[in-house]
Structure 1
Amino acid sequence: MSSLAWIDFDEAERQRAQRIMELFQEREARDELGLGAIRDSIADHLFPGTSTIQTRLRYMLFVPWLFQMLEGSNAGPVELAGQARTLENKLANSLKAGGETTGIIGRDAGADLKRLPSSVYWSGLGAWGIRLFPGSTDNLFSSIRHLRGRQALGSEDAALEDRGSRIWAQSLPARPQSLLEAANFRLTFEEAEFIVDRLVAQQPHSLLTFLARNGGGGADCRYIWEHPHLADFPQNARAVVGHSETFANVMHGASLLYNLLLSDLREMSEWSADYQTRLQQWRDGLDMPAIQAWSLDAFWQAIDHPAHRIQPAAKKFVADWLSLVQSGNIREEAHAPSVLVVTDRERRLKAGQSRFTNRAVRDRWTGASGVERLSFRWNQAKSHLRDIANAD
């Protein structure tokens, strides 16, 4: 039996490891061809602090409020973790009592919930400057007594220690009295203003901040590059959006071909016919002038992000596939260059677990892996922006 344990490096390393674990849980993160670091680099430029497993924006306040309820406890770290879990489960019941039916984390799982709201939103709370404490939730539970002791210093020393002992942003709105009785997802004006202020302070150059400040919650487009006010985006954000559109469109074909090849190997004729149709639709919909003019060097420079390491092999795969797309040489026949590029990439990534070489693994395949065009967390950002716009 194998297990995975945290190694207590710095918070950046911990968050990087957690992102890897989330690949196994997030639907959009199905990363059969190793494009995850590229996808996440783009998403973190445009919509930092978001995640595909986030639901509603008010959790960015729910989590601090629940944890504030623990700060006066004399319990040890293990007991605090248990108390936090209990509070987060009570919150799910409170949201149901408040009339919410969707977006509730743990609505059906109850006490068996695996991913607590705190773990889903913890990274975003730090990225937006709502959480000032630099460590994990476990680090916090181990440090609460120490932090409380620093806050109890004399007035002169406390002023010097104040910033280092605070866990949450000082302007965090007050916790509603009915939080654990009948809660809902609707933000108050004060809460929405606080979140926007945090974004402005911590993520001033992100597209998420621009849209939050300028009422970007009304656009119901499927992809960010279809936004009706794209021309008004800041220049840098507009450039990243342009790159993301071309990247998503180009690499979508590789994902469709991957699924077609597996369907053929499984001898699933209906699946194969569907992917053949979708692959042809993809070919017909390509903006070839834009793809011919696309600069990979400019792309890599624009999306470079300190939190993500894009491996040379991933860059080579993108370059090889792009070259085939630009030459119009995307074919499904055995030994075609496009087939070899896709199958070789998957084999190198998965080794003995490759679906192309491992019959048992292939037979467990259910017919769809990463077939949706990448949207770079726009759905989550759109939901959050809508919650800001609907504050009252």
Structure 2
Amino acid sequence: MSSLAWIDFDEAERQRAQRIMALFQERETRDELGMGAIRDSIADHLFPGTSTIQTRLRYMLFIPWLYRALEKREVPEAQLRTEARDTEIRLADALKAGGESNGIIGRDAGPRLQRLPSSVYWAGLGAWGIRVFPGSLDSLFVALRGRGRSRGASSGEDALAGAQTPAVWNPALPQMPGDLLEHAVFRLTTDEAQFLIDRLIASQPTALLTMLAREGIDAGCDYIWTHPHLSAFPSAARRLVQHGEIFSHVMHGAALLYNLALSELRQRDDWIEDYRARLGAWSDELDTGAVRAWSLDDFWNVVEHPAHAVRPAAKRFISEWRDLVLAGTEQVISAPAARRLVEERERRLKTSQSRYANHAVRDRWTGASGADRLSFRWAQAKSHLRDLAHAE
């Protein structure tokens, strides 16, 4: 059995490490060819505070409501943690009692739930300025334990330490419904929606998500670059969206070729036929003129994000793949250079766990890895915007 122990990093490093660990648990963050930092940079610019495992927007209020009530409990830290977990599990039952069915975290798992809503939304709560406490969820429990000690302490030093404990939630947070843990719904009230919009405006003023939320724009398109209001986006956002569209489309071919190669190694004729057809559709739909005009230098400038470091090897891979695409998409399926580029990239990233080299790992492959186009969390942003637009 292996275990992880925290080295005493500063709080920013601790949160960054926790975020990276959490990403490995998200279904849509499969990054077989090392494009995750670029994907997440674009997503964090456009839709900050979102993640692929978020469901409904009112969790951005459920979590602070539940934890604000728990903050008043003067109990040991272990008991507080237990009560917090139990409360979050009770919330799932309350949502079912309220008539909700989709988007409930823990709907079927119940007490066996591994990923609590608080961990799913914690980073987003901070990014939107709803959570003003700067630390991790673990450090919050420690801080609350310190508060409890200070209340019962007689020494001036302990009382001062408690008084200096930072606030946890934005003071404008709406009031929690009195029956939240008996009967809960996902529909926002207009006051709650306005609070969330105000937080976005204050904390993420330049994000596309903020503009769409402020304008009450709800669109059902599959990709942000097919949005009906694309021409009205701020110029910086429109520029990034256009780069994202080309990047998503160009690199989708590499992902499909990777899946085709594995299907061939597994000798699965049905999978091979499917991926050949998908590569053919990819080739037909690709705008090679737009790819030829695509400035990678400008792309690297606009996607740069302080939370994500894009390695030189990733930049080389994308540049070399683009060159192969421009040489002729029809030949990409069979071109030795294209197949070699994808294989070498995966082998360098996965080393002993490479599906090309490790038969046991390949035999466990179920037929699809990162085979969908990158959408940069538009699905989650679209859901949140819909919740805002339909507040009552």
TM-score category by the smaller chain? over 0.9
Corresponding position of 2:183: 182
Corresponding position of 1:196: 197
Q: Tell me if structure 2 keeps the 8 A contact 1:76–1:142.
A: no
**Structure 1: distance between partners of 2:380 and 2:319:** 29
**Structure 1: distance between partners of 2:261 and 2:131:** 46
**Structure 1: distance between partners of 2:268 and 2:315:** 32
Corresponding position of 2:54: 54
Q: Tell me if structure 1 keeps the 8 A contact 2:39–2:376.
A: yes
Per-residue CA deviations over 1:133-179 (Å, capped at 9, x if unaligned) read: 011111011112445759x9xxxxx9xx9996211001000010011
**Match for 2:10: what amino acid?**
D
Corresponding position of 1:386: 386
RMSD: 1.8
**Structure 2: distance between partners of 1:23 and 1:139:** 20
Residues 20/117 of structure 1: CA separation in 2 closer, same or farther (3 Å cut)? same
Please give the residue correspondences for 1:76-225 in structure 2 after superposition, counting only pairs within 5 Å. 76-147=76-147, 149=150, 165-217=166-218, 219-225=219-225
Per-residue CA deviations over 1:30-88 (Å, capped at 9, x if unaligned) read: 11111111100000000000000000000000000000111111112222111100100
Corresponding position of 1:17: 17
**Structure 1: runs of 5+ lacking an equivalent:** 153-157
**Structure 2: runs of 5+ lacking an equivalent:** 154-158
Shift of 1:347: 0.1
Sequence identity (%): 63
Corresponding position of 2:156: none
Aligned length: 382
Q: Tell me if structure 2 keeps the 8 A contact 1:76–1:141.
A: no
**Structure 1: distance between partners of 2:253 and 2:368:** 14
Please give the residue correspondences for 1:352-363 in structure 2 after superposition, counting only pairs within 5 Å. 352-363=352-363
**Match for 2:390: what amino acid?**
N
**Structure 2: distance between partners of 1:385 and 1:6:** 37
Q: Is 1:347 the counterpart of 2:347 in the alignment?
A: yes
**Structure 1: distance between partners of 2:366 and 2:58:** 35
SS of equivalent to 1:28: helix
Per-residue CA deviations over 1:313-352 (Å, capped at 9, x if unaligned) read: 111111111111122164333x711001100000000001
Per-residue CA deviations over 1:277-319 (Å, capped at 9, x if unaligned) read: 1001101100111100001110010010001111111111111
SS of equivalent to 1:216: coil
**Match for 2:286: what amino acid?**
L
**Structure 2: distance between partners of 1:6 and 1:99:** 41
TM-score (norm 1): 0.94
Q: Tell me if structure 2 keeps the 8 A contact 1:186–1:391.
A: yes
